[in-house]
Structures are given as C-alpha cells and as structure tokens.
Amino acid sequence: MDATHAVRLDGVSKRFADSYAVHDLNLDIEAGRFFSLLGPSGCGKTTSLRMIGGFTDPTEGSVLLAGEDVTALPPDKRNVNTVFQSYALFDHLSIADNVAFGLKRKGVQKAEIRRRVGEMLELVQLDGFAARRPRTLSGGQRQRVALARALVNRPAVLLLDEPLAALDLKLRRQMQVELKQIQREVGITFVFVTHDQDEALTMSDRICVMNEGRVEQCGTPEDVYEHPASRFVASFMGTSNLMTGTYRDGTVTLDQGPALPVGPRTAIADGTAVSVSVRPEKVWLSDFEPGMSMQRGVIRETVYSGPTTTYLIELAPGVTLSVLEQNTARARMEDRWSGGETVEFGWRPEHCLVLA
Ligand SMILES: Nc1ncnc2c1ncn2[C@@H]1O[C@H](COP(=O)(O)OP(=O)(O)OP(=O)(O)O)[C@@H](O)[C@H]1O
Ligand SMILES: [Mg+2]
C-alpha cells in the first residue's frame, strides 16, 4: 500500500434508489496536493466528497486515508475536516471562539488553543478580528474564518465543497489566489469541489473532471485543457470550437466544409466519425507560420471585451468558429476586422485535436 497517497478511492460507487450518483470512482490523491473535483451540477462531486469525509456510505468500494481503510469509520474518526459552501459559523460566538471550537471540544489546553487560534487568524489575515462576531464580517472574511476553523485542527486532508460559490467574482478571484497560497503554506492536502473550470485551472495541481458520476479525465490543468481526453472535457473546459467530420489519413473532412489536417493521434481507423476541436486562442489571424493549416471564412461578429477581442468566423455553412485575439499594446485597434469581411486564418495542425 502506498502511504504517500493521502486519499485513495477504490472502485467507489454510490447508488440512491435506482440510479448511481457516483459510479466506480478510482482516485489517488497524493499528499500535499491541491486536488479539484470538477464537473457540472449533479455529476457527483459532493457525493464523492461526502464519502471521503464519512458523511455518506459508499454502496460499493473502499475509501483509504494515508493507506488505511476508513470505509467503516465515522467522520470524527477520520483525519479530515470539511469546509462546506454555507460557512455555518456560530453567530453567538466571537471569531476567535468560532476558530477555537473544535480544539475546545477535543479538550486542548487553553494556552495552546490561544496560540493556535492566533496563528490561524494570522494565516488567513484576520488578526485584528478575533473579538468580532461573524455577522459583522464580509462574505470573504467569513469564508476565511471557516477555513481557519477547519485548518486549526491540523487535518491531514481538507475537503472543500464550493467554498467560494457565494462570493462575487472579484472577491472570488482574490480568494482563489489566497486559498492556494494558504494551501502551499500549510502543506495540507486539499480536495476542492467546484463546477467552475477557470477556478479549477487557476488553483489545482491536479484536476479530476467528472460527468454523470464517472471520471472523464484526471490530470494537471495543462493536461485537461490542452489534451482533453473526450468531447465532454473539451467542451466543458473553456470554449472549444467543436466540429464533426470523418477521419482519414491524418485529416478530418468536416461534415459541412473543408478537410482539416489534425494533430497526431494513434489508433483511429480511417472512416471513423470524430469530433475535432480548435481552441479560440490557438487560431492566428496574421503573421502566419509555414506549415499552418490555412482556412478562409467570413467575420460574422466582433465582440470587444477589454483585453481581448473575440471574432465569430463562419468557416463553412453552419460551422462558426470563435477566435480570440489579445488586445496587446502592439495590436492596432484599426486593424480589427468587422462583420462581413472575408479573412484568412490558420492554426498549427497539432492544435486541431481529434476527439473520439
Ligand atoms: N441524498 C440523496 N438522495 C437521492 N439522490 C441524491 C442524494 N444526494 C445526491 N443525489 C443525487 O446524486 C446526484 C449527484 O449529486 P451531487 O450532490 O453529488 O452532485 P454535485 O456534483 O455536487 O452537484 P452540484 O454542482 O449541483 O452541487 C444528483 O443526481 C443528485 O440528485
Ligand atoms: Mg455539490
């Protein structure tokens, strides 16, 4: 048994009535990692997290923590803590007492409690807030109290179920960076649940993409974004420009449209119906390189969004690609395309991915 795995799920399934919320989940989470479970609503993220925490019993399979089978153990016998989406702070207690709660219950000595609570409040940058009440704090501050309250117990693993979901976008982005920094500082394994792909990409060392109770792909953020293993992953992670066609000899002929040379991929039989995908930021609109796959299309829409401009380009009837350009200092606004113009564009063949 490999004890460096903080969490291992071995063939874990959960059935509610007649349907599986989680189906044959196999996961190895290395100690010290920031690990995310990512997927759309209802795909089984919370159920998976609850099975790691001991709040839900698996129908099949086993849960291991640091190499020990804990499937039959209740939550309080597992060396994990959970931060839920609703922070569930005690409003009649001060911030310091909220953080101290678990330690008091465990009978830790007063001086030790004071020291550790002080340390934690410093870690989450709430040193000056010890005496305040939760309702006098902002959403982001309350979120950090909830985090401190869980971390103060020094669990081996911290489970976080969409802890940032209630925050507005700006605060959310800020907390993403802070949470990642805190995780690095304390070195505790984080298992983080989110349905937000940007959040998962920003924060994680490893991402497990789930769909309908099953794992679609596990890997680094770069793996799942640059090399999606399925059509689902490609479309769930950002914008993908999915097209369908038929594979033959390193080329995919679109159902409606041109033949596109595609990146290397083994074991596709000629004549197979496939999806292909090109990321919007992998398409070039100027300064082409030799060897590019060149196309021609009509600009249907120009969408300016500050740092970037998105063009919707019709490649063939019914096939419209989203193309992203950075509005850098060197890009000239007057060079931007407008609707109706015919343009040339291209991409490196390896950026045209085949998805079986
Ligand atoms: N206690 C329960 N009884 C019956 N079905 C349940 C129960 N808990 C969850 N489910 C079902 O299991 C599936 C997975 O639910 P889960 O809460 O794990 O999804 P999720 O990925 O966390 O979704 P969300 O992003 O919306 O929180 C859903 O179809 C849900 O309806
Ligand atoms: Mg959930």
Sign, CA dihedral 91-93-94-98, equals negative
β-pairing, 273-277 vs 293-305, is unpaired
Nearest CA to ligand 1 atom 11: 21
R_g of the chain, CA atoms, integer Å: 24
Ligand 1 lined by 210 (C-beta under 6 Å): no
Q: pLDDT per residue over 13-28, tens digit each?
A: 999 998 999 999 999 9
Question: What is the average pLDDT across 124-144?
Answer: 90
Query: Domains in the chain, start-ordered, CATH in brackets?
Result: 5-226 (3.40.50.300), 239-355 (2.40.50.100)
Full DSSP string of 90-142: -TTS-HHHHHHHHHHHTT--HHHHHHHHHHHHHHTT-GGGTTS-GGGS-HHHH
Ligand 1 lined by 41 (C-beta under 6 Å): yes
Q: Measure the CA–CA gap between 240 and 95, rounded to whole angstroms.
A: 45
Q: pLDDT per residue over 323-356, tens digit each?
A: 999 998 877 777 778 888 999 999 999 999 998 7
N-term to C-term CA, the chain: 35
Q: Which ligand is nearest to the CA of 39?
A: 1
| Pocket-testing residue among 14, 18, 47, ligand 1, by greatest number of atoms within 8 A of Cβ | 47
Atom of ligand 1 nearest to the CA of 39: 21
Q: How confident is the model at residue 1 (pLDDT cuts 50, 70, 90)?
A: very low
Ligand 1 lined by 43 (C-beta under 6 Å): yes
Nearest to 208 by CA among 223, 187, 188: 223
Q: Which ligand is nearest to the CA of 42?
A: 1
| Pocket-testing residue among 9, 20, 25, 45, ligand 1, by greatest number of atoms within 8 A of Cβ | 45
Q: pLDDT per residue over 231-246, tens digit each?
A: 999 999 988 899 999 9
Burial status of residue 290 (CB atoms within 10 A of its CB: 0-12, 13-18, 19 or more) = exposed
